[in-house]
Every structure is written in C-alpha cells, then in structure tokens.
C-alpha cells in the first residue's frame, strides 16, 4: 500500500510595502559598491555578520555569527532574542572588552 506524505503548510509572509531596492539604507551599500571598495582598498578588514535561527520558529534565541575573512576566524554569540537591541549589546560588550582602538581596527567603518 502506498504511503501518503503529508506536509505542513508554511505560513505565508506578508509582503513588504517598500521594495528593498527603494529603501534609503541601501544607498551606496549594494554588493557592487562593496566590490568596488575592495578593489580600491584590498587591505580593508572584512567581517561578515549573519544570524542563525532555530528550526520551525519555536525558539526566541538565535546565534550571531561573525566571520573575519582575512584569517578565517568565526565568532558565534548567543542572542537572548532576535532583536536589534541584542545585537547592539554584543557590539557594546566587544567595544568595552577590546578597547576602542582595537575595536576600530577589527571593525573599520568606511563612508
């Protein structure tokens, strides 16, 4: 007898009202702008940030990962909640522990 596979219906996401391309925060912050910056200053330290959430959306916690490209080092921090404030807390803690000079070397911000 054949088995019937049942899949749970996924919740549909509500569409954003403003497209990502039209938002102000994306001005001069596209991937093409990033590639141009790396060509101009190849010695610039690049840190990739990402968040990793638990499966099925059951957990409030998440991981914040930081990948330092120049040395292939990855740091992982546990976020209490998936909020912007929790990410700010991580950066505040890092700036306090590393002192501001070291922090600026590790996380250069160009304009």
| pLDDT tens digit sequence for 43-90 | 888 899 999 987 766 678 899 999 998 898 999 999 998 889 999 999
What total of structural domains would you count in the chain? Answer: 1
Q: Please indicate, yes or no, if residue 15 is contained in any of the structural domains.
A: no
pTM for the complete prediction?
0.66
Residue 19's pLDDT band, with cuts at 50, 70 and 90, is low
Residue 108's pLDDT band, with cuts at 50, 70 and 90, is confident
Tell me the average pLDDT across 2-11: 68
- Separation CA 11–CA 4 (nearest Å): 22
Give the domain extent around 95.
20-106
Q: Please indicate, yes or no, if residue 8 is contained in any of the structural domains.
A: no
Can you read off the two tokens belonging to residue 5? 């596979």
- Separation CA 8–CA 11 (nearest Å): 9
Residue 111 has pLDDT above 60, yes or no: no
Instruction: Specify the higher pLDDT residue, 97 or 15.
Output: 97
| Helices then strands, each counted (H, E), the chain | 2, 3
Contact assessment for residue 61 and residue 81, using Cβ atoms and an 8 Å cutoff: yes
Q: Please indicate, yes or no, if residue 100 is contained in any of the structural domains.
A: yes
């Amino acid at each position: 007898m054949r088995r019937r596979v049942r899949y749970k219906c996924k919740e549909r996401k509500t569409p954003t009202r403003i497209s990502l391309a039209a938002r102000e925060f994306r001005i001069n912050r596209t991937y093409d702008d990033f590639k141009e910056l790396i060509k101009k200053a190849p010695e610039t330290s690049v840190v990739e940030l990402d968040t990793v959430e638990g499966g099925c959306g059951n957990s409030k916690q998440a991981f914040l990962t930081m990948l330092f490209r120049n040395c292939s080092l990855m740091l992982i921090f546990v976020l209490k909640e998936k909020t912007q404030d929790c990410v700010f807390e991580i950066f505040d803690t890092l700036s306090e522990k590393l002192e501001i000079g070291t922090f600026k070397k590790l996380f250069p911000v160009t304009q």
